[in-house]
Structure 1
Amino acid sequence: MATALPTGLVAGTYAVDSSHSTASFTVRHAGIAKVRGTIGIAAGTITVGEDLESSSVRVELDATSVSTGDANRDQHLVSADFWHAEERPTWTFESKAVTAVADGYVVVGDLTINGVTQPVELPVDFEGTAKDPFGNQRAGFESEIEINRKDFGLTWNAALETGGFLVGEKVKIALDVSAISQN
């Protein structure tokens, strides 16, 4: 049985507006604090089908654009210790299925970071649609997941004198996406 689209969302192709969308992350540092950062969204396409099940998402992130507020840390993150951004500058998410759940939607797909692909389930909130002052029809989406960085080959760490490690394994990723109808 086909699931109807959310109210206000119409079938068609939507281009992710990189200048009004963000991909951010949070990871524990030294077990006592959190480091937050952003990664630029290079490109993205949301294809909304006539029903939810025939919809799809593809997004590319620019790993070289990381910003944590500390240039030295940013350089370390893009190095071979972590992201190998010189060799693998693009991270991707490509959906396999879109379904409705009681409190929103779930987009199941493959997330590729550092050349390693893992299946993920993104819980998605549809934030609605609006026409901007330039006549563009926009749609808004939000998602937040937690991944284990080691699942993506991101294993660099340093032991602390007091026990534990410098960088936490769990990484929270939040997406705030504004997409413009191309119809």
Structure 2
Amino acid sequence: MKTNWKVDPTHSEIEFKVKHMMISTVSGSFSDFDAAIEAEDDTFKNAKFSFTAKIESISTKNDDRDTHLKSDDFFNAEKYPQLTFKSKSFDGETMVGDMTIRDVTKEISLQVDFNGIVEDPYGQTKAGFEATGTINRKDFNLNWNAVTEAGNIVVSDKVRLIANLQFIKQ
């Protein structure tokens, strides 16, 4: 019998990190997202994970940068309002699935730590996961870049993804 799990957004976060000028790291997050799991059992092996994030909810703690990220130079939030991920396989450690950003879908691989299942004080059963991976933003047509006078690239092509997710058994 399949079990459905729904993300607990209060205890979850979706973040990304990208090198700026190749010397520092800028972090960002999405505050408006949804995720679900359909699982055969509590091991979550071969469970189906799905995830969406609203591009308008992107935050790097800098309004000008956030506006630039929402523009056509990057995500084009007006035309492509969300990014999605749908898993194809999960062996308990590695999750492979299709990520769609803008109008591009690519297969990506995420390393997943399953942190266990607990029952909270209110009788809800919860499961926790941390997923990490790296994508090349240019694979998804996030092509904008600039080069400084000294020849430094302003924004790295590599973007690290970090998802700390807590799910509630339905």
| Equivalent position to 1:46, from 37, 49, 74 | 37
Q: What's 2:75 paired with?
A: 83
> Does the CA-based 8 Å contact 1:63-1:89 persist in structure 2?
yes
Q: What's 1:136 paired with?
A: 124
The residue matched to 1:64 in structure 2 has which SS?
Answer: helix
Q: What's 1:6 paired with?
A: none
- 1:126 CA displacement: 0.5
Matches within 5 A, 1:97-108: 97-100=89-92, 105-108=93-96
Q: What's 2:153 paired with?
A: 165
TM-score (norm 1): 0.87
Alignment pair present for 1:13 and 2:4:
yes
Q: Which amino acid aligns with 1:162?
A: A
Q: Which amino acid aligns with 1:130?
A: V
The residue matched to 1:97 in structure 2 has which SS?
Answer: strand
- 1:41 CA displacement: 4.7
Paired residues in the alignment total 169
- 1:90 CA displacement: 0.9
> Which string of whole-angstrom CA distances, capped at 9 and with x for unpartnered residues, describes residues 143-176 of structure 1?
1101111011000011110003211111101000
Q: 1:151 to 1:172 in 2, by over 3 A?
A: same
Q: What's 2:109 paired with?
A: 121
Unaligned runs of 5+ in 2: none
Take 2:129 and 2:111, find their aligned partners in 1: how far apart are those partners?
A: 10
